[in-house]
Amino acid sequence: MLDNRLTARSTTTQATTAVRVAGEIIGGSAFTVIAGPCSVEGREMLLSSAASVRSSGARLLRGGAFKPRTSPYAFRGLGASALEMLAEAREVTGLPVVTELMDARDIDAVDAVADVIQIGARNMQNFSLLAAVGERRTPVLLKRGMSATVNELLLAAEHIMAHGNSQVILCERGIRTFETSTRNTLDISAIPVLKQETHLPVIVDPSHAAGRADLVPALAAAAVAVGADGLIVEVHPDPATALSDGAQSLTFAAFAEMMRRLGPLALMCGRQLDIPIAIPLEARADGVQSALRVCA
Ligand code: PEP
Ligand code: MN
C-alpha cells in the first residue's frame, strides 16, 4: 500500500491545502495562471513578457535561469544574471517569480530570488534535490517526470514534505507515450486522480504537454474543466526567435486571447480568473492610464 501519509487526502471532503506565495493563493477559489518565457534570454524580453502576461491576468511570472536541455550544445540559461533580471521583473510588476532549480549547489542563489522553486520533470526523482528543497520553506512546484506514474509523483512530493516543507504544488506536464503528434501526451485523467488522492494543489503545463502553441489553449481549457488549480504557460515576445521552446510558446496576443476565453469557463467551473482591464484613457478624469481588476 502506498505510504504517502503527508500528501494523502485523508477524507473526500478535506479541502485542498492552499499554498501561499507572496500574497497569491494557489489551491484556493482562484484559478491561478503562471506565465512567462521558457528561458530568461535578456532583460528587455523578460520585462516586456512580465508586463504583458500581468496585464492579461497572470498572477506569477515564470522564467528559467538554469535550463535542462537535451543537447549539451543548446542554450542552457543565463544563470545568475537571469536571477537578477527575474528579481527586477518582480520589482517592476509585483509578480512573484517561479524559476527552476537543477542543481543543489545553486540552491542559495535560486532561493534568494524565487518565490516558488520549480523542480523540473527530469529531476522529479532526484532525491537529494528533493531533500534540499524540503529543507527550505520556499514553496516548490514539482513537475511530473515524463515517465513517472501518479504514485511516483506523489512519493516525490512526499520526499519534499518529509523534510519539512509542506508548501508543494504538483504539475502535470504531459508524459511520454507512443503518440508523436504532440511533444508529450497531457494525462488529463491525472488531474482528477490527483485531486482525489492528495490535498496538494495541482496545476497543468499545457505548453510542455503540447509542444505546439496552437494546441495550448485547448489543453488549458481542458485543465480548467477537469478541476486543475491553475496553469503554467510559456509566453515569448517573438516565439520564432526563442532560444528554447519557441514552438510551444504563445505570443503576447495569443496568451491574452486565451485568458479572455478561459475567464468565463473558469467561472462556470466555480473558479475565479480575474483579468485586469485597462480603463480607456478618456474614461479617466485625470487622464492617467490605470488598470482595474474585474471578473472576466
Ligand atoms: C520548463 O518548465 O521549461 C521545463 C523544462 O519543464 P519540464 O521540466 O516539465 O520539461
Ligand atoms: Mn520550456
Closest atom, ligand 1, to C-alpha of 64: 3
- Give me ligand 2 centre to Cα 196, in Å: 28
Place of cell 544574471: 81
Question: Which residues surround ligand 1 with Cβ inside 6 Å?
Answer: 38, 64, 68, 120-122, 143, 173, 205, 208
- Give me ligand 1 centre to Cα 260, in Å: 25
Backbone φ and ψ for 117, nearest 5 degrees, come out as -95, 125
Question: What value, to the nearest 5°, has the Cα angle with vertex 246 and ends 175 and 80?
Answer: 90
Residue 203 near residue 220, CB atoms below 8 Å: no
153: closest CA among 195, 104, 210, 207? 195
Place of cell 488531474: 191
- Give me ligand 1 centre to Cα 124, in Å: 11
- Is 19-295 a domain of CATH 3.20.20.10? no
Quick one: which ligand is closest to 209's CA?
1
Query: How are the residues of the chain apportioned to helix, strand and coil, as percentages rounded to the nearest 5?
Result: 40, 20, 40
- To 10 degrees, what angle do helices 252-268 and 43-55 make? 30
User: To test the ligand 1 pocket, which listed residue (62, 205, 231) has its Cβ within 8 A of the most ligand atoms?
Assistant: 205
Residue 123: per-residue pLDDT: 98
User: To test the ligand 1 pocket, which listed residue (40, 100, 153, 172) has its Cβ within 8 A of the most ligand atoms?
Assistant: 100
Closest atom, ligand 1, to C-alpha of 144: 9
> Taking the domains of the chain in order of start, what are their residue ranges?
19-295
Query: How far, in Å, CA of 199 to CA of 15, rounded?
Result: 7
- Give me ligand 1 centre to Cα 209, in Å: 10
Q: One digit per residue, pLDDT tens: the chain, 296 residues?
A: 899 999 999 888 899 999 999 999 999 999 999 999 999 999 999 999 999 999 999 999 999 999 999 999 999 999 999 999 999 999 999 999 999 999 999 999 999 999 999 999 999 999 999 999 999 999 999 999 999 999 999 999 999 999 999 999 999 999 999 999 999 999 999 999 999 999 999 999 999 999 999 999 999 999 999 999 999 999 999 999 999 999 999 999 999 999 999 999 999 999 999 999 875 555 545 444 433 333 33
Q: What is the pTM of this model?
A: 0.94
Residue 236: per-residue pLDDT: 98
Residue 277: per-residue pLDDT: 81
Quick one: which ligand is closest to 174's CA?
1
